[in-house]
Structures are given as C-alpha cells and as structure tokens.
Amino acid sequence: MQNILVFCLLLLSVSLATSQSVIDPLTFLRCIVRQGSNPPDQTSEVTYIPTNSSFTTVLRRRIPNLRFDKPTTPKPLAVVTVKNWSQIGTALACSRELSVQVRIRSGGHDFEGLSYTSTVPFFVIDMFSFRSIDVNLTEGTAWVDSGATIGELYYRIAEKTNVFGFPAGLAPTLGVGGHFSGGGYGTMMRKYGLSVDNVVGSGIIDSNGNIYTDRVSMGEDLFWAVRGGGAASFGIVLGYRVRLVPVPERVTVFSVGKTVGEGALDLIMKWQSFAPSTDRNMFVKLKLTMVNGTKPGEKTVLASFVGMYLGGSSKTLNVMNRDFPELKLKKTDCTEMRWIDSVLFWAGYPIGTPTSVLLDTTVTNKLFMKRKSDYVKQPISRTGLDLILKKLVEVEKVEMNWNPYGGRMGEITSSRTPFPHRAGNLFNIEYLIDWSEAGDAVEKDYLSRAREMHGFMTPYVSSNPREAYLNYRDLDIGSGGNSTTYEGGKVYGAKYFKDNFERLVNIKSIYDEINFWRNEQSIPVRK
C-alpha cells in the first residue's frame, strides 16, 4: 500500500516539476516512473539517483580513470542500468521530455570520461547488463552485446574452439560498444585488420526509441558509421555480429628489452622498416620507457620489442632471423601457447594464469591517466630518434607505444569504414602517462609533460591534418563543448576521420538532425 502511495505522489508531482524546469534527480526519477508505467517495465528499479545507497558503487564500477572520479567531477542525475530494450526506450523518453543529455557507457574506457561525465545536466545509460555472447561455429560468427568486454568475448570464443579468435584490443576490460565503434586494433591487425573490418552486422536504438535489430533495418549508411565513426553520435548500439578469424593451435610470444647503452637506437632504426613490412603473421610492438641507468642518478630509455607470431617458435625464429637479425632473438626468448593464453600475455598477466580471469570485468589498479596519439608515415632519421630518446628522459614519466601497420591494414581502402588510417602509415604512436598522486597541481604537471612530448614529435608525424585515433580520445585536439557546430567539429573530426568526416556529418544530419546524440567530440550536424 505504501509503494502505491509513493507511486501516486510521484505521478501527481511530475507535471509541476517539469513545468518549472526543475532538473534534479528526483524529477528524473519521477519521469522514469511515469514513462515506464504503461506497460510496466521496471525501469525505476534499475535507476540509481544520488540518494540511493548504491549510486556511488554503480557509477564507479566502470570508471578506470581517476581524473574523472573526483569529488569535484560532475555527477549524473542518475545511472540507469538498463536490462532490456524497453528500459532504454523509457530512459530516452525522459531525456527528450526533460531535455537532459544522455551518456552511454559500455566499458567506461573513454580516456576523457565522455561516457559518464558532462558539464550540463545528464544521466548515464549503463550497458553493463547487456553482455550476452553467442558464438556460432557453424557460421563462423559471434553476436556480442555492447556491454560485454572484449575479455569476455575472447573467453567465450576459446571456450568452444582453439582454432578461431578475434582481432581486438589488449585490455580485457574494454567494452565492446566503445572499442568497436572507434575501430578497435590489436595484435592481429596486420593479419586481419581492425575489429570493425570483421564486423558483419549490428543493431541500434535511435533517439525516439526505435529499434533496428540488424544491418538491413539499419541501412548501409548507419551500419558504416557505427564501425569506426563513434557510435555514440548516432544512437545506442545494441551489439555487433562479428566474423571469427582462423588462428593456429599454437602462437609464439616474446619480449626483448634493450637500453640506449645496449644499442636500442640502432634497433629502433631497423624496427621502423622491419615491423610494417615483415610477414603479416608477425606483430612486434615497440615500447619506449624511461628507466634508471647503470650509474647513480643516470636515466636512460628502455626499448622493449614485444611480439607475437601466429605460429610456432621455429617459424618465429626463421622470420626474425631473416627480417630482424639485429635483435638476436633466441629460442629461449620465445614461449609457445594457445592464442587465448596470448591474450593474457598481452594484458600483462603471468604465463599460466587461468583464462577465467578474462571473465572478471572489475577494473583494478585505477590510476589518473592521459592518452594522446599520432601516425608516422616516413621513417624517422637516426638523428631524430636520438633526439626523441633524449626528450623522453628530459620530460620523464611519458611512455610511448609504437604499433606497426602494414599487411592487411594497407590493403583496406581508407573509406571502407570511418577509420581512415590505412595505407601509407608505418605505425601508430600511443602516448601514455599514468600517475597515482591526487591533486590539481600534480595533474597539471603530468598533463603538461604529455603535451610537451606530443608537441616535440610534431616534425616526425603526420600533418595537415595531424591524424589521431578516436579510441585514444584527446580533447586537446579540439572540443565542441555540449553544442558542437560543424565548424567546431571539423577541427577534431578531420584528425580522427580525415575525408570520412564529411560522410559522417551527412549521415548524422539524416539520422539525428536535432543533434540529440552529442558530446564534446561528437559528429555534428550540417547546418
């Protein structure tokens, strides 16, 4: 009886609240109760507002970046942990009625926190419960909901077969919804391309709650846009149907590190020509990290060559001795394992860790983080490399990952998906800086170091535009605020998407002409 009374009071007060334009958590909850009442869909039961004792836990469970988990970080009016399509429709109805922005969170790995923060009133639709994965070996495909992690996808594939896998990222807790919609690359991209190059179907909900359950109902333009163009600009992606790729029963991994004093400079010079052109079954990432030198107080750079070959150790050594003999890779450096175990290796787990760890979606070891990116189209000279290594020591604390392209990446046209960084790129650079100390002054210092290193690299990377990778989200390259214009959007859009930006704008203008789906780096409409 008490619940019925509360329900009635909520319904009676909602019209007054909305007429006075009061946008607060209780107003939002009232709307959810009313919109979800006919027929009843229990959306209110999965809506958490700040006065709910579970609100903070639900909000924080997928916030890996402590930069956006501070007391001063703007909090949503609510987190709606939707469990079915109807509940998504109810939440969107309240977004329209109250003019409240919606943010969509899958894994929460947006490096600028755009999936769970905003500077205007907003709420979060959390796709955490949309985690179904259906592997069909007969068709060689899998359907994966957007709230699942890539670790869960890897595990479910390996649960059924040792000879199929999927090309995606290295961090197992990455959410499928965000990772795929930005492109998605990993250790098999030189063999099979990006995640989106192996997506064959999808489903999406538009701002009016209309559900498009497959590629045919979506239409080819919208299907194209959500494969690398940032799906959050177009709707809520329900999931993706992916094509599985063959993997051998055994793969080989290795990691060899050399400091500058041990000849790293010459090895990096050779890596630039070797890594993008070698056998496409081979992927060798270069990681540059500042470390202590041999003398007290001395600092130097460690170059780590971390690789995987889709095959046994004998073939691995044959390829490396033929194409990169300077590294002097030995059999003792190599470890053979199943492809699924290599996923754990790349994620930093000790060899022998049970694969069931991939089912743990908890983000541990949370840190303050900043990422930036670049693309390199011409080999960097020896003089240039020497200066870069010295700058890393000077700046300190910034790490760099150089990820080789070539192979399949160079065969796919730049317009096939919104992700344009294809032929002509030798490698991608990821700038990483992480820290654990809290404080505005500390954060300002670390961010300035990342920006300084990025600025120093200007002569060595792409230009006009200086290209960037969407999944290494970086508001430094441009931001449209909460009302992105075409002119403002083009600043960052050309860097992420190059010529594909114009097609994305055209599609956005057709399918979301009111610019309902927007954030600081969304695709704008053409006006």
Q: Is 472 a catalytic residue?
A: yes
Structure tokens at 31: 């709307």
φ and ψ at residue 370, rounded to 5 degrees: -145, 140
Q: Please give the order of strands across the beta sheet that includes 47-48.
A: 47-48, 79-80, 122-126, 101-105
511, 206 in Cβ contact below 8 A?
Answer: yes
What is the rounded distance in angstroms from the CA atom of residue 454 to the CA atom of residue 167?
A: 28
Report the residue count for the chain. 527
233, 508 in Cβ contact below 8 A?
Answer: yes
Which residues on neighbouring strands pair with residue 103, listed in sequence order? 124
Q: Which of 472, 486, 492, 496 is catalytic?
A: 472
What is the rounded distance in angstroms from the CA atom of residue 30 to the CA atom of residue 12?
A: 9
What is the rounded distance in angstroms from the CA atom of residue 225 to the CA atom of residue 202?
A: 11
400, 431 in Cβ contact below 8 A?
Answer: yes
Q: Name residues whose C-beta falls within 8 Å of residue 297's C-beta, 6 or more positions apart in sequence.
A: none
Helical spans, DSSP H, in 257-309 = 264-274
Beta pairing class for 101-105 and 164-165: unpaired
Three-state SS for 307?
strand
Cα distances (Å, whole numbers) of residue 26 to 9, 47, 59, 119: 12, 11, 17, 19
**Among all residues, which ones are annotated catalytic?**
472
